[in-house]
Amino acid sequence: MGSNIVHQYFKKELEDVKIIVKVNPIQLKGTEITVSPDGKIESRDLEFDEGIFDDLKEDGFEVASALEFNLYEAGLV
Half-sphere exposure of 47 (CA within 13 A, CB side): 0
b or e along 34-69 (b: 16 or more beta carbons within 10 Å of the residue's beta carbon)?
ebeeeeeeeeeeeebeeebeeebeeeebeebeeeeb
| Per-residue confidence (pLDDT) for residue 21, from 0 to 100 | 98
| Per-residue confidence (pLDDT) for residue 4, from 0 to 100 | 85
| Per-residue confidence (pLDDT) for residue 1, from 0 to 100 | 47
Report pLDDT digits (tens) over 7-63. Answer: 999 999 999 999 999 999 999 999 999 999 998 999 999 999 999 999 999 999 999
